[in-house]
Structure 1
Amino acid sequence: MNPAIDTRLVRRLVDGQFPHWADLRLRPVERSGSDHVIHRLGDDLAVRLPRHDGAIGQSEKEYEWLPRLAPGLPLAVPVPVAVGRPGEGYPWPWAVARWLPGEVATVAAFGESAAAAAALAGFLRALQALPVDGAPAGRAPLEARNDVTRARIAEVAGVFDAAALTRVWDEALSAPGWDRPPVWFHGDFHTGNLLSAGGRISAVIDFGGLGAGDPARDMTMAFTLLGAGPRRVFRAALGVDDATWARGRGWALATGLNAYTSYAAIDDRVAAQTSRQITQAVL
Protein backbone atom coordinates (compact mmCIF):
# COMPACT_ATOMS: atom_id res chain seq x y z
CA MET A 1 0.00 0.00 0.00
CA ASN A 2 1.37 3.41 -0.97
CA PRO A 3 2.05 5.86 1.86
CA ALA A 4 -0.21 8.85 2.46
CA ILE A 5 1.82 12.01 1.84
CA ASP A 6 0.68 15.47 2.90
CA THR A 7 2.35 18.76 3.74
CA ARG A 8 2.39 17.99 7.46
CA LEU A 9 4.42 14.83 6.85
CA VAL A 10 6.85 16.64 4.56
CA ARG A 11 7.26 19.38 7.16
CA ARG A 12 8.11 16.87 9.88
CA LEU A 13 10.63 15.11 7.65
CA VAL A 14 12.38 18.33 6.65
CA ASP A 15 12.44 19.80 10.14
CA GLY A 16 13.61 16.58 11.76
CA GLN A 17 16.39 15.77 9.29
CA PHE A 18 17.39 19.20 7.96
CA PRO A 19 16.64 21.66 10.78
CA HIS A 20 18.58 24.44 9.02
CA TRP A 21 15.64 24.58 6.57
CA ALA A 22 12.93 24.53 9.24
CA ASP A 23 12.16 28.23 8.80
CA LEU A 24 11.57 27.98 5.05
CA ARG A 25 8.02 28.08 3.78
CA LEU A 26 6.69 24.76 2.45
CA ARG A 27 3.87 24.48 -0.08
CA PRO A 28 2.69 21.69 -2.39
CA VAL A 29 3.20 21.80 -6.14
CA GLU A 30 0.03 20.98 -8.06
CA ARG A 31 0.21 18.35 -10.81
CA SER A 32 3.54 17.07 -9.57
CA GLY A 33 3.30 13.80 -11.48
CA SER A 34 2.44 10.17 -10.88
CA ASP A 35 5.80 9.17 -9.36
CA HIS A 36 6.49 11.89 -6.79
CA VAL A 37 4.78 14.35 -4.48
CA ILE A 38 6.64 17.64 -4.78
CA HIS A 39 6.71 20.56 -2.38
CA ARG A 40 8.48 23.84 -2.87
CA LEU A 41 10.76 24.71 0.06
CA GLY A 42 11.48 28.39 0.32
CA ASP A 43 12.25 30.08 -2.99
CA ASP A 44 15.18 27.95 -4.09
CA LEU A 45 14.50 24.31 -3.13
CA ALA A 46 12.11 21.46 -3.93
CA VAL A 47 11.29 18.38 -1.83
CA ARG A 48 10.37 15.21 -3.75
CA LEU A 49 8.88 12.11 -2.11
CA PRO A 50 8.21 8.91 -4.11
CA ARG A 51 4.51 8.03 -4.24
CA HIS A 52 5.08 4.30 -4.85
CA ASP A 53 7.81 1.67 -4.71
CA GLY A 54 8.46 1.96 -8.46
CA ALA A 55 10.10 5.34 -7.83
CA ILE A 56 12.40 4.15 -5.04
CA GLY A 57 16.07 4.75 -5.74
CA GLN A 58 15.69 7.86 -7.85
CA SER A 59 16.84 10.16 -5.06
CA GLU A 60 20.17 8.41 -4.63
CA LYS A 61 20.69 8.01 -8.39
CA GLU A 62 20.15 11.68 -9.11
CA TYR A 63 22.30 12.71 -6.13
CA GLU A 64 25.17 10.60 -7.46
CA TRP A 65 24.98 11.32 -11.18
CA LEU A 66 23.34 14.64 -11.99
CA PRO A 67 26.11 16.83 -10.51
CA ARG A 68 28.55 14.96 -12.77
CA LEU A 69 26.42 15.20 -15.91
CA ALA A 70 24.98 18.71 -15.54
CA PRO A 71 28.10 20.67 -16.63
CA GLY A 72 28.07 18.89 -20.00
CA LEU A 73 24.40 19.47 -20.79
CA PRO A 74 22.92 22.46 -22.69
CA LEU A 75 19.67 22.52 -20.68
CA ALA A 76 19.24 22.82 -16.93
CA VAL A 77 18.70 19.65 -14.88
CA PRO A 78 17.84 19.21 -11.18
CA VAL A 79 20.77 19.74 -8.83
CA PRO A 80 20.26 17.51 -5.77
CA VAL A 81 21.49 18.97 -2.50
CA ALA A 82 20.40 16.31 0.02
CA VAL A 83 18.87 12.85 0.34
CA GLY A 84 16.48 12.29 3.24
CA ARG A 85 16.04 9.06 5.19
CA PRO A 86 12.83 7.14 5.86
CA GLY A 87 11.06 8.47 8.92
CA GLU A 88 7.81 9.72 10.47
CA GLY A 89 6.10 6.63 9.06
CA TYR A 90 7.34 7.34 5.53
CA PRO A 91 9.24 4.25 4.29
CA TRP A 92 11.64 5.42 1.55
CA PRO A 93 14.52 7.81 0.81
CA TRP A 94 13.48 11.20 -0.53
CA ALA A 95 15.30 14.19 -1.98
CA VAL A 96 15.84 17.93 -1.78
CA ALA A 97 17.00 19.63 -4.98
CA ARG A 98 17.40 23.13 -6.36
CA TRP A 99 14.10 24.54 -7.59
CA LEU A 100 13.96 24.91 -11.37
CA PRO A 101 11.69 27.76 -12.50
CA GLY A 102 9.38 27.36 -15.47
CA GLU A 103 6.19 25.72 -16.63
CA VAL A 104 5.69 22.20 -17.96
CA ALA A 105 6.18 22.30 -21.73
CA THR A 106 3.05 21.76 -23.79
CA VAL A 107 2.19 20.57 -27.27
CA ALA A 108 0.29 23.82 -27.82
CA ALA A 109 3.43 25.86 -27.20
CA PHE A 110 6.12 23.66 -28.76
CA GLY A 111 4.53 20.93 -30.86
CA GLU A 112 5.20 22.75 -34.12
CA SER A 113 8.50 24.33 -33.08
CA ALA A 114 11.55 23.32 -35.10
CA ALA A 115 13.69 25.26 -32.60
CA ALA A 116 12.37 23.15 -29.74
CA ALA A 117 13.02 19.98 -31.74
CA ALA A 118 16.60 21.06 -32.40
CA ALA A 119 17.13 21.97 -28.74
CA LEU A 120 15.90 18.57 -27.59
CA ALA A 121 18.09 16.76 -30.09
CA GLY A 122 21.03 18.87 -28.92
CA PHE A 123 20.35 17.85 -25.32
CA LEU A 124 20.37 14.16 -26.24
CA ARG A 125 23.50 14.51 -28.37
CA ALA A 126 25.30 16.09 -25.42
CA LEU A 127 23.99 13.47 -22.99
CA GLN A 128 25.00 10.59 -25.25
CA ALA A 129 28.51 12.02 -25.63
CA LEU A 130 29.28 11.95 -21.89
CA PRO A 131 31.42 9.11 -20.44
CA VAL A 132 29.38 6.16 -19.19
CA ASP A 133 31.95 4.59 -16.85
CA GLY A 134 30.07 3.13 -13.88
CA ALA A 135 26.67 4.19 -15.25
CA PRO A 136 23.55 2.31 -14.08
CA ALA A 137 22.11 -0.14 -16.59
CA GLY A 138 18.66 1.44 -16.58
CA ARG A 139 15.35 -0.30 -17.09
CA ALA A 140 14.39 -3.60 -18.71
CA PRO A 141 14.62 -3.85 -22.52
CA LEU A 142 11.70 -3.29 -24.85
CA GLU A 143 11.20 -7.03 -25.32
CA ALA A 144 10.33 -7.40 -21.64
CA ARG A 145 7.16 -5.39 -22.30
CA ASN A 146 5.85 -7.68 -25.03
CA ASP A 147 3.17 -9.59 -23.13
CA VAL A 148 1.78 -6.62 -21.25
CA THR A 149 1.83 -4.37 -24.32
CA ARG A 150 -0.11 -6.90 -26.42
CA ALA A 151 -2.59 -7.26 -23.59
CA ARG A 152 -3.06 -3.49 -23.49
CA ILE A 153 -3.50 -3.31 -27.25
CA ALA A 154 -6.37 -5.78 -26.87
CA GLU A 155 -7.74 -3.73 -23.98
CA VAL A 156 -7.93 -0.49 -26.01
CA ALA A 157 -9.12 -2.09 -29.25
CA GLY A 158 -12.43 -0.28 -28.96
CA VAL A 159 -10.71 3.10 -28.81
CA PHE A 160 -7.70 2.78 -31.12
CA ASP A 161 -6.89 0.81 -34.26
CA ALA A 162 -5.56 -2.41 -32.75
CA ALA A 163 -4.18 -3.64 -36.07
CA ALA A 164 -2.13 -0.46 -36.50
CA LEU A 165 -0.87 -0.64 -32.91
CA THR A 166 0.15 -4.27 -33.40
CA ARG A 167 1.98 -3.43 -36.63
CA VAL A 168 4.05 -0.74 -34.91
CA TRP A 169 4.78 -3.04 -31.99
CA ASP A 170 5.83 -5.91 -34.27
CA GLU A 171 8.13 -3.59 -36.22
CA ALA A 172 9.73 -2.36 -33.00
CA LEU A 173 10.43 -5.85 -31.74
CA SER A 174 11.80 -7.05 -35.09
CA ALA A 175 14.14 -4.07 -35.55
CA PRO A 176 17.85 -4.84 -35.04
CA GLY A 177 19.06 -4.07 -31.54
CA TRP A 178 21.61 -1.47 -30.48
CA ASP A 179 25.02 -2.84 -31.49
CA ARG A 180 27.20 0.15 -30.60
CA PRO A 181 28.82 1.09 -27.28
CA PRO A 182 26.30 2.05 -24.59
CA VAL A 183 25.37 5.71 -24.28
CA TRP A 184 23.51 7.65 -21.62
CA PHE A 185 19.74 7.87 -21.89
CA HIS A 186 17.28 9.86 -19.80
CA GLY A 187 14.89 6.92 -19.73
CA ASP A 188 11.62 8.84 -19.33
CA PHE A 189 12.03 11.56 -21.94
CA HIS A 190 8.54 12.92 -22.53
CA THR A 191 6.64 16.19 -22.44
CA GLY A 192 5.85 16.05 -18.73
CA ASN A 193 9.55 16.06 -17.90
CA LEU A 194 10.32 19.29 -19.74
CA LEU A 195 10.15 22.81 -18.37
CA SER A 196 9.90 25.96 -20.44
CA ALA A 197 10.62 29.60 -19.71
CA GLY A 198 10.70 32.68 -21.92
CA GLY A 199 9.23 30.82 -24.88
CA ARG A 200 11.88 28.11 -25.04
CA ILE A 201 12.66 24.72 -23.54
CA SER A 202 14.69 25.47 -20.42
CA ALA A 203 15.11 22.30 -18.34
CA VAL A 204 14.82 18.50 -18.27
CA ILE A 205 13.68 16.87 -15.04
CA ASP A 206 12.91 13.46 -13.48
CA PHE A 207 15.94 11.27 -14.16
CA GLY A 208 14.63 8.15 -12.43
CA GLY A 209 15.14 6.11 -15.60
CA LEU A 210 18.69 7.38 -16.17
CA GLY A 211 21.06 4.71 -17.44
CA ALA A 212 23.39 3.64 -20.23
CA GLY A 213 22.69 1.36 -23.16
CA ASP A 214 20.27 1.68 -26.08
CA PRO A 215 19.10 5.32 -26.52
CA ALA A 216 15.91 4.33 -28.36
CA ARG A 217 13.67 4.92 -25.35
CA ASP A 218 14.47 8.65 -25.50
CA MET A 219 12.84 8.87 -28.93
CA THR A 220 9.54 8.90 -27.00
CA MET A 221 9.82 12.69 -26.84
CA ALA A 222 9.30 12.91 -30.59
CA PHE A 223 5.85 11.36 -30.24
CA THR A 224 4.70 13.07 -27.04
CA LEU A 225 5.62 16.67 -27.86
CA LEU A 226 6.42 17.15 -31.53
CA GLY A 227 4.29 17.31 -34.63
CA ALA A 228 5.32 15.68 -37.90
CA GLY A 229 7.55 18.49 -39.20
CA PRO A 230 9.52 19.13 -35.99
CA ARG A 231 9.72 15.35 -35.48
CA ARG A 232 11.69 15.15 -38.73
CA VAL A 233 13.94 17.97 -37.54
CA PHE A 234 14.53 16.13 -34.26
CA ARG A 235 15.40 12.87 -35.98
CA ALA A 236 17.72 14.48 -38.53
CA ALA A 237 19.52 16.60 -35.93
CA LEU A 238 20.09 13.52 -33.77
CA GLY A 239 21.03 11.30 -36.72
CA VAL A 240 18.73 8.43 -35.74
CA ASP A 241 18.93 5.27 -37.86
CA ASP A 242 15.84 3.34 -38.95
CA ALA A 243 16.20 0.55 -36.37
CA THR A 244 16.60 2.92 -33.42
CA TRP A 245 13.65 4.96 -34.65
CA ALA A 246 11.48 1.85 -34.89
CA ARG A 247 12.45 0.78 -31.37
CA GLY A 248 11.81 4.31 -30.16
CA ARG A 249 8.36 4.28 -31.71
CA GLY A 250 7.78 1.04 -29.83
CA TRP A 251 8.79 2.67 -26.56
CA ALA A 252 6.39 5.55 -27.24
CA LEU A 253 3.58 3.10 -27.92
CA ALA A 254 4.28 0.89 -24.89
CA THR A 255 4.60 3.75 -22.41
CA GLY A 256 1.60 5.53 -23.88
CA LEU A 257 -0.55 2.43 -23.53
CA ASN A 258 0.68 1.92 -19.97
CA ALA A 259 -0.28 5.43 -18.93
CA TYR A 260 -3.56 5.38 -20.85
CA THR A 261 -4.81 2.14 -19.33
CA SER A 262 -3.62 3.12 -15.84
CA TYR A 263 -4.75 6.75 -15.58
CA ALA A 264 -6.92 7.92 -18.48
CA ALA A 265 -10.17 6.87 -16.85
CA ILE A 266 -9.48 9.07 -13.81
CA ASP A 267 -7.56 12.00 -15.31
CA ASP A 268 -8.78 13.86 -18.39
CA ARG A 269 -5.39 15.52 -18.88
CA VAL A 270 -3.60 12.17 -18.97
CA ALA A 271 -6.27 10.79 -21.28
CA ALA A 272 -5.67 13.59 -23.80
CA GLN A 273 -1.88 13.39 -23.60
CA THR A 274 -1.64 9.63 -23.90
CA SER A 275 -4.25 9.45 -26.65
CA ARG A 276 -2.11 11.83 -28.66
CA GLN A 277 1.04 9.85 -27.88
CA ILE A 278 -0.50 6.59 -29.03
CA THR A 279 -1.95 8.16 -32.15
CA GLN A 280 1.32 9.88 -33.10
CA ALA A 281 3.26 6.65 -32.64
CA VAL A 282 1.25 4.92 -35.37
CA LEU A 283 1.22 7.72 -37.96
Structure 2
Amino acid sequence: MHQDQLHIDSDIARRMIREQFPQYLHEDVVAVAGAGTDNAIFRIGSESAARFPLRAMNPVECAARLRSEAAAMSELWQLCPFPTPRPVGLGAPGPDYPMPWTVQTWIEGEAATPAGLSRSRTFALDLVRLITSLRQGDVRGRRFNGRGRGGNLVDHDAWMEVCLSNSESLLDVAQLRRMWARFRELPPAGPEVMSHKDLIPANLLVASEHLIGVLDGGGFGPADPSLDLVVAWHLLDRERRMIFRDAIQANDVEWRRGGAWAFQQAMGLVWYYQITNPTMSALGRSTISRLVEDYADRH
Protein backbone atom coordinates (compact mmCIF):
# COMPACT_ATOMS: atom_id res chain seq x y z
CA MET A 1 0.00 0.00 0.00
CA HIS A 2 2.94 2.33 0.60
CA GLN A 3 6.25 2.90 -1.18
CA ASP A 4 8.08 2.63 2.16
CA GLN A 5 6.16 -0.43 3.33
CA LEU A 6 8.03 -3.08 5.33
CA HIS A 7 7.66 -6.82 4.87
CA ILE A 8 6.15 -8.79 7.72
CA ASP A 9 4.47 -12.19 7.48
CA SER A 10 3.09 -14.80 9.87
CA ASP A 11 6.34 -16.76 10.10
CA ILE A 12 8.39 -13.69 11.04
CA ALA A 13 5.75 -12.44 13.46
CA ARG A 14 5.36 -15.86 15.10
CA ARG A 15 9.11 -16.19 15.63
CA MET A 16 9.50 -12.70 17.09
CA ILE A 17 6.47 -13.03 19.37
CA ARG A 18 7.58 -16.37 20.78
CA GLU A 19 11.19 -15.24 21.25
CA GLN A 20 10.37 -11.95 22.98
CA PHE A 21 7.15 -12.86 24.79
CA PRO A 22 7.67 -16.43 26.04
CA GLN A 23 4.26 -16.44 27.73
CA TYR A 24 2.90 -16.92 24.20
CA LEU A 25 5.21 -19.81 23.31
CA HIS A 26 2.36 -22.27 22.85
CA GLU A 27 -0.24 -19.87 21.45
CA ASP A 28 -1.31 -19.83 17.82
CA VAL A 29 -0.25 -16.73 15.88
CA VAL A 30 -2.52 -15.89 12.94
CA ALA A 31 -2.56 -12.90 10.58
CA VAL A 32 -5.71 -10.79 10.85
CA ALA A 33 -7.25 -9.86 7.52
CA GLY A 34 -8.71 -6.38 7.31
CA ALA A 35 -8.54 -2.91 5.87
CA GLY A 36 -5.81 -1.61 8.16
CA THR A 37 -3.30 0.71 6.55
CA ASP A 38 -0.79 1.50 9.29
CA ASN A 39 -0.12 -1.85 10.95
CA ALA A 40 -0.03 -5.56 10.18
CA ILE A 41 -1.98 -7.31 12.95
CA PHE A 42 -1.49 -10.86 14.19
CA ARG A 43 -3.81 -12.49 16.69
CA ILE A 44 -2.08 -14.36 19.52
CA GLY A 45 -4.28 -17.06 20.96
CA SER A 46 -7.68 -15.77 22.03
CA GLU A 47 -6.75 -12.80 24.20
CA SER A 48 -3.85 -10.85 22.63
CA ALA A 49 -2.64 -9.33 19.37
CA ALA A 50 0.63 -7.99 17.95
CA ARG A 51 0.81 -4.86 15.79
CA PHE A 52 3.75 -4.34 13.46
CA PRO A 53 4.05 -0.86 11.86
CA LEU A 54 3.98 -1.13 8.09
CA ARG A 55 5.84 2.06 7.18
CA ALA A 56 9.57 2.43 7.73
CA MET A 57 10.85 5.12 10.08
CA ASN A 58 13.71 5.69 12.50
CA PRO A 59 13.47 2.83 15.07
CA VAL A 60 14.24 5.14 18.02
CA GLU A 61 11.54 7.58 16.93
CA CYS A 62 9.17 4.68 16.31
CA ALA A 63 9.74 3.29 19.82
CA ALA A 64 9.02 6.71 21.33
CA ARG A 65 5.82 6.97 19.32
CA LEU A 66 4.69 3.48 20.33
CA ARG A 67 5.28 4.30 24.00
CA SER A 68 3.24 7.47 23.58
CA GLU A 69 0.48 5.48 21.90
CA ALA A 70 0.51 2.95 24.75
CA ALA A 71 0.01 5.76 27.26
CA ALA A 72 -2.87 7.13 25.15
CA MET A 73 -4.47 3.67 24.96
CA SER A 74 -4.33 3.33 28.74
CA GLU A 75 -5.96 6.74 29.16
CA LEU A 76 -8.66 5.85 26.63
CA TRP A 77 -9.33 2.56 28.45
CA GLN A 78 -10.15 4.46 31.63
CA LEU A 79 -12.75 6.66 29.90
CA CYS A 80 -14.21 4.54 27.12
CA PRO A 81 -17.68 3.13 27.87
CA PHE A 82 -16.98 0.25 25.47
CA PRO A 83 -14.18 -2.36 25.54
CA THR A 84 -10.90 -1.12 24.08
CA PRO A 85 -7.44 -2.76 23.91
CA ARG A 86 -4.86 -2.27 26.65
CA PRO A 87 -1.10 -2.32 25.99
CA VAL A 88 0.82 -5.45 27.02
CA GLY A 89 4.38 -4.73 25.93
CA LEU A 90 6.85 -3.30 23.42
CA GLY A 91 8.71 -5.64 21.08
CA ALA A 92 12.23 -5.04 19.79
CA PRO A 93 13.46 -5.09 16.17
CA GLY A 94 14.82 -8.38 14.86
CA PRO A 95 16.91 -9.64 11.93
CA ASP A 96 13.85 -10.02 9.69
CA TYR A 97 11.88 -6.96 10.81
CA PRO A 98 13.76 -3.74 11.65
CA MET A 99 11.25 -1.82 13.76
CA PRO A 100 9.78 -1.86 17.27
CA TRP A 101 6.28 -3.32 17.55
CA THR A 102 3.63 -3.82 20.20
CA VAL A 103 1.47 -6.41 21.91
CA GLN A 104 -1.96 -5.52 23.26
CA THR A 105 -5.13 -7.21 24.43
CA TRP A 106 -7.61 -8.51 21.85
CA ILE A 107 -11.20 -7.28 21.61
CA GLU A 108 -13.64 -9.65 19.94
CA GLY A 109 -16.13 -8.34 17.37
CA GLU A 110 -16.85 -7.56 13.73
CA ALA A 111 -15.67 -4.27 12.26
CA ALA A 112 -18.38 -1.81 11.30
CA THR A 113 -18.96 -1.04 7.62
CA PRO A 114 -20.14 2.21 5.97
CA ALA A 115 -23.59 0.79 5.17
CA GLY A 116 -24.06 -2.04 7.67
CA LEU A 117 -25.73 -0.05 10.47
CA SER A 118 -26.21 3.22 8.64
CA ARG A 119 -29.98 3.10 9.30
CA SER A 120 -29.77 2.11 12.96
CA ARG A 121 -30.89 4.67 15.54
CA THR A 122 -29.51 2.42 18.27
CA PHE A 123 -26.05 2.45 16.73
CA ALA A 124 -26.16 6.22 16.16
CA LEU A 125 -26.89 6.77 19.85
CA ASP A 126 -24.09 4.38 20.85
CA LEU A 127 -21.72 6.59 18.85
CA VAL A 128 -23.03 9.64 20.70
CA ARG A 129 -22.41 7.89 24.01
CA LEU A 130 -18.85 7.09 22.94
CA ILE A 131 -17.94 10.63 21.90
CA THR A 132 -19.59 12.36 24.85
CA SER A 133 -17.82 9.99 27.26
CA LEU A 134 -14.42 10.68 25.71
CA ARG A 135 -15.04 14.42 25.89
CA GLN A 136 -15.30 14.10 29.67
CA GLY A 137 -11.57 13.40 29.81
CA ASP A 138 -9.31 16.07 31.32
CA VAL A 139 -6.99 17.65 28.74
CA ARG A 140 -4.68 18.51 31.68
CA GLY A 141 -3.33 21.60 29.97
CA ARG A 142 -2.35 19.68 26.85
CA ARG A 143 -2.99 20.95 23.34
CA PHE A 144 -3.41 19.28 19.95
CA ASN A 145 -0.03 17.78 19.05
CA GLY A 146 -0.04 19.09 15.49
CA ARG A 147 -0.02 15.67 13.77
CA GLY A 148 -2.82 14.83 11.37
CA ARG A 149 -6.40 16.04 11.67
CA GLY A 150 -7.69 18.03 14.60
CA GLY A 151 -6.04 21.44 14.42
CA ASN A 152 -6.46 24.15 11.78
CA LEU A 153 -8.32 23.25 8.60
CA VAL A 154 -6.19 25.57 6.45
CA ASP A 155 -3.06 23.64 7.46
CA HIS A 156 -4.32 20.90 5.12
CA ASP A 157 -4.54 23.02 1.97
CA ALA A 158 -1.43 21.53 0.37
CA TRP A 159 -2.54 17.96 1.03
CA MET A 160 -6.02 18.70 -0.26
CA GLU A 161 -4.53 20.04 -3.48
CA VAL A 162 -2.62 16.77 -3.89
CA CYS A 163 -5.82 14.81 -3.30
CA LEU A 164 -7.94 16.91 -5.63
CA SER A 165 -5.35 16.77 -8.40
CA ASN A 166 -5.06 13.00 -8.11
CA SER A 167 -8.83 12.57 -8.14
CA GLU A 168 -9.54 14.25 -11.48
CA SER A 169 -10.46 11.00 -13.22
CA LEU A 170 -12.26 9.53 -10.20
CA LEU A 171 -14.54 12.20 -8.73
CA ASP A 172 -16.33 15.47 -9.57
CA VAL A 173 -13.34 17.56 -8.56
CA ALA A 174 -14.87 20.90 -9.56
CA GLN A 175 -17.65 20.46 -7.02
CA LEU A 176 -15.25 19.10 -4.40
CA ARG A 177 -12.98 22.14 -4.79
CA ARG A 178 -15.97 24.38 -4.07
CA MET A 179 -16.77 22.34 -1.00
CA TRP A 180 -13.22 22.56 0.38
CA ALA A 181 -13.14 26.30 -0.29
CA ARG A 182 -16.12 26.67 2.06
CA PHE A 183 -14.92 24.12 4.61
CA ARG A 184 -11.49 25.71 5.06
CA GLU A 185 -13.04 29.08 6.00
CA LEU A 186 -15.01 27.73 8.97
CA PRO A 187 -14.18 29.37 12.32
CA PRO A 188 -13.04 27.33 15.36
CA ALA A 189 -15.75 25.30 17.06
CA GLY A 190 -14.57 25.81 20.63
CA PRO A 191 -11.93 24.65 23.12
CA GLU A 192 -10.13 21.40 22.40
CA VAL A 193 -11.49 18.23 23.99
CA MET A 194 -10.23 14.67 24.37
CA SER A 195 -10.81 12.82 21.11
CA HIS A 196 -10.23 9.37 19.65
CA LYS A 197 -9.12 11.11 16.41
CA ASP A 198 -9.73 8.21 13.99
CA LEU A 199 -13.31 6.98 14.23
CA ILE A 200 -13.42 5.11 10.94
CA PRO A 201 -15.46 1.90 10.50
CA ALA A 202 -12.45 -0.40 10.86
CA ASN A 203 -11.83 0.95 14.38
CA LEU A 204 -15.34 0.26 15.64
CA LEU A 205 -16.59 -3.24 16.49
CA VAL A 206 -20.28 -4.07 16.32
CA ALA A 207 -22.71 -6.85 17.14
CA SER A 208 -26.42 -6.77 16.33
CA GLU A 209 -27.12 -3.01 16.28
CA HIS A 210 -24.70 -2.09 19.05
CA LEU A 211 -21.19 -0.74 19.30
CA ILE A 212 -19.21 -3.29 21.34
CA GLY A 213 -15.57 -2.24 20.96
CA VAL A 214 -13.27 0.64 20.04
CA LEU A 215 -9.85 0.01 18.47
CA ASP A 216 -6.71 1.98 17.60
CA GLY A 217 -6.73 4.34 20.56
CA GLY A 218 -3.07 5.34 20.27
CA GLY A 219 -3.98 8.81 19.04
CA PHE A 220 -6.32 9.63 21.92
CA GLY A 221 -5.70 13.20 23.00
CA PRO A 222 -6.81 16.83 22.70
CA ALA A 223 -8.23 17.99 19.37
CA ASP A 224 -10.89 20.11 17.70
CA PRO A 225 -14.23 19.13 19.33
CA SER A 226 -15.57 18.55 15.81
CA LEU A 227 -13.04 15.89 14.89
CA ASP A 228 -14.78 12.78 16.23
CA LEU A 229 -18.00 13.83 14.47
CA VAL A 230 -16.51 12.39 11.26
CA VAL A 231 -18.12 9.12 12.31
CA ALA A 232 -21.52 10.50 11.30
CA TRP A 233 -20.57 10.68 7.62
CA HIS A 234 -18.47 7.51 7.66
CA LEU A 235 -21.25 5.37 9.14
CA LEU A 236 -24.73 6.93 9.12
CA ASP A 237 -27.35 7.80 6.53
CA ARG A 238 -28.97 11.25 6.43
CA GLU A 239 -31.79 10.54 8.88
CA ARG A 240 -29.50 8.86 11.41
CA ARG A 241 -26.97 11.71 11.02
CA MET A 242 -29.65 14.11 12.15
CA ILE A 243 -30.52 11.89 15.13
CA PHE A 244 -26.81 11.80 15.98
CA ARG A 245 -26.46 15.58 15.64
CA ASP A 246 -29.47 16.32 17.81
CA ALA A 247 -28.35 13.90 20.51
CA ILE A 248 -24.81 15.24 20.65
CA GLN A 249 -26.13 18.84 20.54
CA ALA A 250 -23.69 20.03 17.89
CA ASN A 251 -24.11 23.65 16.84
CA ASP A 252 -23.84 24.67 13.18
CA VAL A 253 -20.12 25.47 13.17
CA GLU A 254 -19.18 22.32 15.06
CA TRP A 255 -21.29 20.17 12.74
CA ARG A 256 -19.92 21.72 9.56
CA ARG A 257 -16.34 21.38 10.83
CA GLY A 258 -17.04 17.71 11.51
CA GLY A 259 -18.00 17.43 7.86
CA ALA A 260 -14.80 19.25 6.89
CA TRP A 261 -12.64 16.74 8.76
CA ALA A 262 -14.58 13.83 7.25
CA PHE A 263 -14.03 15.41 3.82
CA GLN A 264 -10.29 15.84 4.43
CA GLN A 265 -9.97 12.20 5.44
CA ALA A 266 -12.16 10.77 2.69
CA MET A 267 -10.40 12.70 -0.09
CA GLY A 268 -7.14 11.00 0.86
CA LEU A 269 -8.66 7.53 0.65
CA VAL A 270 -10.24 7.33 -2.79
CA TRP A 271 -7.19 7.82 -5.00
CA TYR A 272 -4.41 6.69 -2.64
CA TYR A 273 -5.92 3.26 -1.97
CA GLN A 274 -7.74 2.76 -5.28
CA ILE A 275 -5.60 -0.25 -6.23
CA THR A 276 -3.89 -1.31 -3.01
CA ASN A 277 -6.81 -1.22 -0.55
CA PRO A 278 -10.22 -1.11 -2.29
CA THR A 279 -12.09 -1.25 1.03
CA MET A 280 -10.54 2.03 2.18
CA SER A 281 -11.04 3.60 -1.23
CA ALA A 282 -14.72 2.61 -1.13
CA LEU A 283 -15.05 4.16 2.34
CA GLY A 284 -13.76 7.43 0.91
CA ARG A 285 -16.33 7.35 -1.88
CA SER A 286 -19.18 6.54 0.50
CA THR A 287 -18.25 9.35 2.89
CA ILE A 288 -17.86 11.88 0.09
CA SER A 289 -21.27 10.95 -1.34
CA ARG A 290 -22.87 11.65 2.06
CA LEU A 291 -21.05 14.96 2.34
CA VAL A 292 -22.12 15.95 -1.17
CA GLU A 293 -25.69 15.07 -0.20
CA ASP A 294 -25.53 17.44 2.78
CA TYR A 295 -23.73 20.10 0.77
CA ALA A 296 -26.42 20.01 -1.93
CA ASP A 297 -29.11 20.48 0.74
CA ARG A 298 -27.29 23.48 2.14
CA HIS A 299 -26.47 25.16 -1.19
Which residue identity lines up with residue 127 of structure 1 in the other structure?
A: L
Displacement of 1:52 in angstroms is 1.0
SS at the partner of 2:199? coil
Q: Is 1:168 the equivalent of 2:164?
A: no
In structure 2, the residue matched to 1:111 is 118
Q: Using the alignment, how far apart are the partners of 1:279 and 1:108 within structure 2?
A: 12
Identity %: 29
Q: Paired residue for 1:49?
A: 52
Match of residue 231 from structure 1: 241
CA deviation digits over 1:130-152, x for unaligned, max 9? Answer: 11226573424332211221232
Cα 1:110–1:146, aligned 2, differ >3 Å: closer, same or farther? Answer: same
CA contact (8 A) 1:36 1:51 kept: yes
Q: TM-score, normalised by structure 2?
A: 0.87
For normalisation by structure 1, the TM-score amounts to 0.91
CA distance in 2, matches of 1:176, 1:231: 22
Counterpart for residue 68 of structure 1: 75
- Assess, with a 3 A threshold, how the Cα gap between structure 1 residues 64 and 209 changes in structure 2: closer, same or farther: closer
Alignment of 1:10-159 (within 5 A): 10-31=13-34, 33-53=36-56, 56=62, 59-133=66-140, 135=142, 137-138=144-145, 139-140=147-148, 141=151, 142-159=153-170
Residues 17, 134 of structure 1: alpha-carbon distance in 2 compared, 3 angstrom cutoff: farther
Moved over 4 A (4+): 53-58
Please give the per-residue CA displacement for 1:176-232, whole angstroms capped at 9, x wherever unaligned.
11442x211111111121111244211111124322031222121111111001111
Q: Which runs of 5 or more structure 1 residues have no equivalent in the other structure?
A: none
1:162 CA drift (Å): 2.1
Q: Distance in 2 between matches of 1:92 and 1:242?
A: 44
Cα gap change, 1:134 to 1:41, in 2 (>3 Å): farther
> Structure 2: how far apart are the matches of 1:39 and 1:230?
34
Matched, 1:240 2:264: no
1:66 shift after superposition: 2.4
Name the residue aligned to 1:281: 291
Question: Structure 2 CA distance, aligned partners of 1:68 and 1:188?
Answer: 16
Task: Say if 1:112 and 1:227, in contact at 8 Å, map to a contact too.
Answer: yes
Number of aligned pairs? 282
Residue 263 of structure 1 and its aligned partner are, at CA, apart by 0.6
Query: Could you tell me whether the CA contact under 8 Å between 1:58 and 1:208 is conserved in 2?
Result: no
Tell me which amino acid in the other structure corresponds to 1:163.
Answer: A
Question: Contact between 2:119 and 2:240, CA under 8 Å: does it hold in 1?
Answer: yes
Deviation string for 1:2-47 (max 9, x for gaps)? 3210112112221221112111111111115111111110111111
**Conserved? CA contact 1:12–1:88, under 8 Å:** no
Match of 2:214 among 204, 213, 218: 204
- Give the Cα separation in 2 of the matches to 1:103 and 1:50: 22
| Alpha-carbon spacing, 1:93–1:215, altered in 2? closer, same or farther (3 Å) | farther
